[in-house]
Amino acid sequence: MPFYTANDGCKLYYCDEGTGIPVIALAGLTRNGADFDHVVPHLPVRLIRPDYRGRGQSDWAEPESYSIAQEAADVLALMDHLGLEKAAILGTSRGGLIAMVLAATVKERLLGVALNDIGPEIADRGLDVIKEYIGHNPAQKTYAEAAAFRDKSWTHFKNVPMQRWREEVEAHYKETPDGLVIRYDPKLRDAVLAAGAQPAPDLWPLFDALAGLPIALVRGANSDLLTAQTADEMSRRRPDMLRADVPDRGHVPFLDEPQALNVLHTWLEALK
């Protein structure tokens, strides 16, 4: 399996498949490269999917290093490891925040950025949901129970086949005799809560740093993290931003919805 070493010695996993424009797919906060399993068959690119430190198949590290700044540095280390002078970023949730940090610090390394249900303002309701579950194993004991729970309780998602929920929980939990176990370091919770104890920074300058790059936004129409008002302001500041509001989806769209694919394919054309 392919691994590389971060600047602090942490061993990090990545998946590198396909040919064409290099696109680095950055997952959500507690998730891993499997975030993009559903969209992989639809993207004619070289898709590079790292697992952040402490997530998936990457090494766990000190909680203090579970930061956006360090994870951005890890992305640059991966690009250097692969000999990539430039790459595009497809960032889901936290991955989009990392992409904006990269735009503000090393824009010359980026070809473009696509954001999946994330922007420079994060709704309190969505943050509260994250703080509630992060670092804890789910109450459900099996994949089947967890899939059924999502199908019944995740009312911000509609028209999702049970098989899709099954694939999702298999990607993000490990089934054991004692129940389901999260596929990330539980101490990620400590890092997130510590960051939340500080005053929230103004992230609009990071979004504005995307100026000159082809950008796209995919938003779940029922998202509790990225409000329509924030997305509208993003569109106002970047009238050229490609945008899709995906119906029947919350945080986050799977990215293989027709609306999402249309925007992503148009964005990829803009990168050429």
Confidence at residue 194, expressed as pLDDT on a 0 to 100 scale: 87
Q: Which domains does the chain have, with CATH numbers?
A: 3-132+200-271 (3.40.50.1820), 136-183 (no CATH)
Lowest mean pLDDT among 41-50, 76-85, 128-137, 220-229: 128-137
pLDDT at 35 over 90: yes
* Secondary element (H or E) of residue 137: none
- Other CB atoms within 10 A of residue 190 CB: 15
Confidence at residue 221, expressed as pLDDT on a 0 to 100 scale: 98
Q: Give the mean model confidence (pLDDT) for residues 173-202.
A: 89
Q: Give the mean model confidence (pLDDT) for residues 23-36.
A: 96
pLDDT above 70 covers a percentage of the chain that reads: 98
Q: Give the mean model confidence (pLDDT) for residues 56-70.
A: 96
Confidence at residue 201, expressed as pLDDT on a 0 to 100 scale: 84
Q: Give the mean model confidence (pLDDT) for residues 30-48.
A: 97
Confidence at residue 229, expressed as pLDDT on a 0 to 100 scale: 97
User: How long, in residues, is the chain?
Assistant: 272
pLDDT tens-digit series, residues 114-157: 999 999 999 989 889 999 999 999 999 999 999 999 999 999 99
Closest CA to 152 of 143, 162, 142: 162
Q: Give the mean model confidence (pLDDT) for residues 51-56.
A: 98
Confidence at residue 113, expressed as pLDDT on a 0 to 100 scale: 98
Residues paired with residue 91 on neighbouring β-strands, in sequence order: 26, 115
Q: 């703080």: which residue's tokens?
A: 131
Task: Determine the Cα–Cα distance for residues 171 and 161; give it in Å rounded to an integer.
Answer: 16
Q: Give the mean model confidence (pLDDT) for residues 79-83.
A: 98
The two three-digit tokens of residue 140, written as one number = 């459900």
pLDDT at 263 over 70: yes
Q: 3-state DSSP helix/strand/coil percent for the chain, to nearest 5?
A: 40, 20, 40
pLDDT tens-digit series, residues 193-225: 888 656 678 999 999 999 999 999 999 999 999
Lowest mean pLDDT among 76-80, 104-108, 122-126: 122-126
Q: What is the DSSP string of 18-79?
A: --SSEEEEE--TT--GGGGTTTGGG--SEEEEEPPTTBTTSPP--GGG-SHHHHHHHHHHHH
Cis peptide preceding 252, ω within 30 of 0: yes
Ramachandran bin of 212, using left for φ above 0, alpha for ψ from -120 to 50, beta for the remaining angles: left
Q: Give the mean model confidence (pLDDT) for residues 236-261.
A: 98
> pTM here?
0.97
Confidence at residue 195, expressed as pLDDT on a 0 to 100 scale: 81
Q: Give the mean model confidence (pLDDT) for residues 70-86.
A: 98
Confidence at residue 198, expressed as pLDDT on a 0 to 100 scale: 64
Q: Give the mean model confidence (pLDDT) for residues 20-32.
A: 97
Confidence at residue 139, expressed as pLDDT on a 0 to 100 scale: 95
